[in-house]
Structure 1
């Protein structure tokens, strides 16, 4: 019995020593940039898709798609002892990636709070496309609000899992209630001006207008039943 207790104690001590040697921190864009500027020989990982990465990225970042089934094997090619900076679009994927990297034994990890959308919002330097690139103009967008129907604006992205889950029932509602409501999907990655103007930093983001006035907004997933209740309330 004493031998078993001693073994358990030793395992606990070894586990505590191992976890105490790991460090992960969530940093604001300013803190993230400052930490990179004062850190030698670090690795910067963008865990978005290759399509997103090609549009814009933080300088010197390497792309490792979190959704790629080979993500873990790619992570094994990195130096676990080096400071590792991680970011995605808004923070969801980078948070999951950090958990994986910690399990894989990475010792020092820094995650960008709010992802590259927050970085862009703070006008931090980036490689790739400008934030003012093509997309629906603000003028054309505002014209869609000039209707007697309800207008539901759906800011989404291809990589956004909740967005993909909501897309089928949004299309169904749009078809069923086309005489009462207009549902306008906006790809946040392709409409930088609108995303910036309406301060969209979390996806999905829904904005409901009635008589050209904003009457309701919501960020994150909402199920079909709850959304139908909202629309019914403002008919």
Structure 2
């Protein structure tokens, strides 16, 4: 029994640490998309809607009533939140939930009582066809998009955004496949926020999203930073 006692103690300490960490970890209050809409509608004109993206992103597309809230440093952040009411319902969004998550934590730490993030961010909002204030044109029509899919090769479409961190991580992988498999794969890149109607019609609700077509038919679809090996496997299986 003595031989196993140190191992037992180590396992017990690890388990105890895990429980304590889980109890003290910052709470991530992400509601459902439907609940976000419900709370926003209920708040009405009382809602404070904050766009956590860059000002240039905000200028292109944003929720009605939202204000640009991209704060570079602590001093600016303190000045910015001083203009807000900590007791009013506050709604936050970014592309997904990266920047909005950080802003939500900072606001709660500063005494804001009701902070709600848009789950899935503006990507999901636009992908579901919800309205935005936009200075960007309609972009590609569905007919033009479908015409671009006509090819004897497999067609890999990358829906992303130049402002999306995950999209930037995936871009080199897609680019390498474009060059390495040029003889068998056609690669198309779509800037989602410049093609909002198309993004909705194709059913893209998260960025980045890859869609693989064979003969105009979807044979594979994946959101997120997909490993190169997984993409190559999907291409190989589509060629069978």
- What is the TM-score normalised by the length of structure 2? 0.75
Cα distance in 1, alignment partners of residues 130 and 61 from structure 2 = 12
Cα distance in 2, alignment partners of residues 107 and 25 from structure 1 = 15
Choose which of 32, 51, 72 in structure 1 pairs with 2:56: 51
Is 2:64 aligned against 1:64?
A: no
Whether the 8 Å CA contact 1:207–1:217 is kept in 2: the answer is: yes
Corresponding position of 1:30: 37
Q: Which runs of 5+ in 2 are unaligned?
A: 1-23
Whether the 8 Å CA contact 2:30–2:119 is kept in 1: the answer is: no
Is 2:121 aligned against 1:115?
A: yes
Distance 1:33 1:225, change over 3 A: same
Residue 146 of structure 1, CA deviation: 1.6
Whether the 8 Å CA contact 1:23–1:109 is kept in 2: the answer is: no
Corresponding position of 2:193: 189
Whether the 8 Å CA contact 2:97–2:120 is kept in 1: the answer is: yes
Aligned pairs (5 A) from 1:1-235: 26=31, 28=34, 29-37=36-44, 40=46, 42-65=47-70, 69-70=72-73, 72-77=74-79, 78=81, 79=84, 81-83=86-88, 84-120=90-126, 126-129=132-135, 133-235=137-239
SS at match of 2:219: strand
Residue 124 of structure 1, CA deviation: 5.1
Moved more, 99-108 or 200-209: 99-108
Higher helix share: 2
Q: Which runs of 5+ in 1 are unaligned?
A: 1-15
Q: What is the CA deviation profile of residues 168-217 of structure 1, one whole-angstrom value per residue up to 9, with x for unaligned ones?
A: 12111101111100111100011112101012110111110112211100
Corresponding position of 2:13: none
Whether the 8 Å CA contact 2:155–2:188 is kept in 1: the answer is: yes
Distance 1:175 1:118, change over 3 A: closer
SS at match of 1:185: strand
Q: What is the CA deviation profile of residues 143-166 of structure 1, one whole-angstrom value per residue up to 9, with x for unaligned ones?
A: 222212110010001121111011
Distance 1:162 1:117, change over 3 A: closer
SS at match of 1:81: coil
